[in-house]
Amino acid sequence: MTTLLLTNAHLIDPATGREGPGAVLVRDRVIADIHWGRPASVPEGAEVIECGGQVLTAGLVDLRAFVGEPGAEHRETLASASAAAAAGGVTTLVCMPDTNPPIDEPAIVDFVLRRARDTASIHVLPAAAITKGLAGQVMTEFGLLTEAGAVAFTDGLKAVTNAQVMRRALTYARDFGVLLMQHVEEPTLVGDGVMNEGEMASRLGLHGIPREAETILLERDIRLVRLTGGRYHAAMISCADSVEIVRRAKEAGLPVTCGVSINNLVLNENDIGHYRTFCKLSPPLRTEADRQAVVAALNEGVIDVIVSDHNPQDVETKRLPFAEAADGALGIETLLAAALRLVHAGDVSLPRLLAALSAAPSRVLGRETGRLSPGAPADLVLIDPDAPYVLDKRQLKSRSKNSPFDEARLQGQASLTMVAGRIVHRHGETR
Amino acid sequence: MTRRLSNTANGPTTLLAAGCRRSYSPSLRMSTQAPPGFPHRHLLGIEGLSPLDIVALLDRADEAVEISRQVEKKRTTLRGRTQINLFFEPSTRTQSSFELAGKRLGADVMNMSVASSSVKKGETLIDTAATLNAMRPDIIVVRHHQAGAVHLLARKVDCAVVNAGDGAHEHPTQALLDALTIRRNKGRIEGLTVAICGDVLHSRVARSNIILLMALGARVRVIGPSTLLPPGLARFGVEVFTDMRKGLKDVDIVMMLRLQRERMNGSFVPSVKEYFRYFGLDGDKLSHAKADALVMHPGPMNRGVEISSEVADGAQSLIKEQVEMGVAVRMAVLEALATHLPNA
């Protein structure tokens, strides 16, 4: 039985927005007590961690990370992804079912959970496929997969495009109370598109992806939610029109939540510059006006969750002409630092940001994490929000190096990350 | 991104407007110095060139035209240099034009096309670039079916790189040869109205031409069915028309674009018949342009699809002259880049 006192911290409870000086007492794997304001007396035998006035909050919960295990371990393993996550202050990640074989059977869920238990330093929660083989046709075993430990259902990189399949999945999901997370992109409208449609794509001679590829599928899904009552989470939206669709759905009281990729919050299509394939993403980076719209939606709470959309790609899939390169960017290790750009720019308050990074995703999953309160899991992160540095991709813990923030000036980092009472990362070293 | 000339009072277009290219007396010796204001190691696009750079290249190309019209066409500017024409996409005229240009300047020219290369065996663009780079070429001329591929390659080699067309992005030497053809026939570019017609969406020729013509002060119109016009086109600063007759009214130059066969059958336009009826250049539609309007086409032409034979072979057609200017412009480009090579 270990007891830890994290003292002299600036506490922020992402679940309530409350902030102020204080200390957190951790006993075994849970938060035993929160001392707001008053200096805490040190319990006998407790180890004291001096926080130096830095921000202490609940660990980040990332609803969307692609891990190459099983099947693409050369890109990322559960161990390397969790090391990257820990270094970025993420204490829970939901891994996508786009593995080989895909996570569409209870045995694969079991495999991922066992591998994570043995090799990962943070909580890894598998999301299972909505359809077998991610093929968009035949429903998976929602009940059995949930019993095996799947926390949500998604076809990952793919959308379920067949409306009948989606209707049945939402209907059936309601009976089991499970969550469907949809990648909202209609592939026939994406076509040959590789970036946001508009002047920039036309200048680069690249085919564009219209916003309607997103809004049409989102609108359809929300009508299906109204029809079925299933719980629906739009994995990532990227434009102002989608914000309005989600807003209306929420105002109508539908069981709809919504996420945004960190990339769409802090980058725009101009970051592609002269064909930077690390900025080739799905959904694509859009215009500055769209970026501002999703930032505003985050502030208003129309967007609930920020995800890293962590998608490790190797040199062979990225060092290609833009249209031939794979989609995706690393994100989990830089999620916090990139998100802090919004705070430093004065666009989002730190408590609001942390709510979208930990409390809201925990709520979407129905888990106890994401809050500073007695009895909650001792998943904590100590943040130095101001530390400036230039990101060097060679220092990243991921097995892949496709970070759109390579050589970017960033400010803020996780000084210490704790998972279930165990320190899994200290800045400058990783345990 | 779009350069508009705000300094026409002292900019290079005044040189053009004064018709100065007719006033110099070519010595028939191409100079060995880089033209002033051409500071680029590669030619990857018209984007990034200043009007001064463009005019310098055109002036140099005028000299090359004279050289090419002599019996003795060979020069020594590129003697000892190696030029590789790396074509990932089949091309007859562009490749032979670059080959002839290099040879007339004395370079050793090697043609490498994708059909016979290791790319089909799975080698990546980067590996191909590294392999060729190890053979120590001085200039690589590249055509690739993907936008940005030439930029990617240019970052991986030590020699000069010329973009001979990348996807739907740019084809800078085509725009330069078109500008040269226009300037030699109209005496200027500034103030002319140029209509670019057809499949602009998939056309690198159109993009390079729009940038170049606007940089030199021409008014540019773009005409085509909306399915073949790139989104955001109006923000390039061009006027957009979907009615050929309205768009051609009072223009000085009509540039036709090739419509690829695979785009004719329902995917972008319903049929060849319908396309020719509304967007093919025939005598009737051409009559809406100025009486002395000139007709251009980058080739190869689809007669009866985007242009009628009557117009293509008619008195207003500059299509054959464009081919001649192509060699001259490529000589000018190769020579300008050679001045940046080591030991130049």
CB atoms within 10 A of CB A401: 16
The helix/strand count (H/E) of chain B reads as 12, 9
**Residue A252 in tokens:** 């109508």
Interface contact B231-A201, CB threshold 8 A: yes
pTM: 0.89
> What is the nearest CA distance from A320 to chain B, expressed in angstroms?
7
B-chain residues within 8 Å CB-CB of A191? none
Contact residues, chain A, for B233 at CB < 8 Å: 202
d(CA B125, CA B153): 7
Chain A residues within an 8 Å CB radius of B170: 205
Nearest chain B Cα distance for residue A317, angstroms: 10
Catalytic residue, chosen from A98, A104, A155, A309, is A309
Neighbour tally for A63: CB within 10 Å: 31
Best A189, A192, A196, A204 residue to mutate vs chain B (most B CBs within 10 Å): A204
- Is residue B27 scored above 80 in pLDDT? no
Best interface-test mutation with B: which of A189, A194, A200, A202 has the largest number of B CBs within 10 A? A202
Residue A386 token pair: 């101001």
Angstrom CA distances, A36 to A18, A26, A328, B333, stand at 10, 14, 41, 72
How high is the ipTM of this complex? Answer: 0.86
Neighbours of A46 (CB within 10 A): 18
Q: Test B148 with A201 for CB contact under 8 angstroms.
A: no
The pLDDT of residue B22 is 38
* Partner-chain residue, chosen from B149, B207, B232, that has the shortest CB–CB distance to A321: B149
Taking the alpha carbons at both ends of chain A, their separation in whole angstroms is: 20
pLDDT at B318 (0 to 100):
97
Report the gap between the CA of B112 and the closest CA in chain A (Å): 19
Contact (CB, 8 A) for A1 and A28: yes
Instruction: Using CA coordinates, name the residue in chain B closest to A208.
Output: B231
Chain A interface includes B230 (CB < 8 A):
yes
For residue B111, give the H/E element and its range.
strand B108-113
> What's the pLDDT at B38?
66
DSSP state of A429: B
pLDDT band at B192; cut points 50, 70, 90:
very high
Task: Summarize pLDDT for B284-323 with one digit per residue, the tens.
Answer: 999 999 999 999 999 899 999 999 999 999 999 999 999 9
User: Cβ–Cβ of B207/A323 closer than 8 Å?
Assistant: no
| Residue A197 dihedral angles phi and psi, to the nearest 5° | -75, 140
| Per-residue model confidence as pLDDT tens digits over B46-103 | 999 999 999 999 999 999 999 999 999 999 999 999 999 999 988 889 999 999 999 9
Distance from CA of B226 to the nearest CA of A (A): 14
- B147 contacts on A by Cβ (under 8 Å): 204-206, 275, 321-323
Rounded CA gap, A350 and A17, in Å? 9
B15 half-sphere exposure, CB direction, 13 A CA radius: 13
* Chain B residues inside the 8 Å CB shell of A208: 231
For residues B281 and B311, is the Cβ–Cβ distance under 8 A? yes
pLDDT, tens digit (0-9, with 9 covering 90-100), for B97-156: 999 999 999 999 999 887 655 556 667 888 888 999 999 999 999 999 999 999 999 999
* DSSP β-ladder status, A422-426 and A409-419: antiparallel
Q: What's the average pLDDT block by block, 10 residues per block, for chain A (431 residues)? A: 90 97 95 86 89 97 96 96 97 97 98 97 98 97 98 97 98 96 97 96 97 98 97 98 98 98 98 95 97 98 98 92 95 97 97 98 97 97 96 94 94 97 85 41
CA-to-CA distance for A19 and A33, rounded, in angstroms? 15
Whether cis (ω within 30° of 0) applies to the bond prior to B300 is yes
* Residue B4 pLDDT greater than 50, yes or no: no
DSSP result, A80-102: HHHHHHHHTTEEEEEEPS-SSS-
- Cβ distance A322 to B148 less than 8 Å, yes or no, reads yes
Please tell me whether the peptide bond between B225 and the residue prior to it is cis, using omega within 30 degrees of 0.
no
Residue B327 reports pLDDT greater than 80: yes
CA quadruple B72, B78, B79, B83: dihedral, nearest 10: -110
* Residue A200 contacts B where some CB pair is shorter than 8 Å: yes
pLDDT bracket for residue B29 (50, 70, 90):
very low
CB contact under 8 A, A321 and B144: yes
SS3 A33: strand
Average pLDDT of the residues in B182-191: 97
Query: Would residue A309 show up in a list of annotated catalytic residues for this protein?
Result: yes
Point out which residues pair with B162 in neighbouring strands: B43, B141
Question: Is residue B153 within 8 angstroms of chain A, CB to CB?
Answer: no
Listed by number, the residues of chain B in 57-86 with a beta carbon closer than 8 Å to a beta carbon of chain A are: none
| Cβ distance of B232 and A323 shorter than 8 Å | no
- Mean pLDDT of all residues belonging to chain B: 87
> Can you give the pLDDT at residue B344?
64
Give the closest-approach CA distance of B118 to chain A in angstroms. Answer: 16
The residue of chain A nearest to residue B202, with distances taken between CA atoms, is A205
- Inter-residue contact A284 to A271 (CB < 8 Å): no
A407 to chain B, closest Cα gap in Å: 18
| CA angle A291–A293–A297, rounded 5-degree value | 120
Distances (CA, A) of B63 to B73, B95, B164: 12, 22, 22
**A313's tokens:** 């790609």
pLDDT band at B236 (very low <50, low <70, confident <90, very high): very high
Q: What's the pLDDT at A206? A: 97
pLDDT score recorded for residue A1 = 61
Residues 6+ apart with CB under 8 A from B201: B168, B224, B227, B228, B229, B230, B268
Which pLDDT belongs to residue A12? 98
Whole-number pLDDT of residue B124: 81
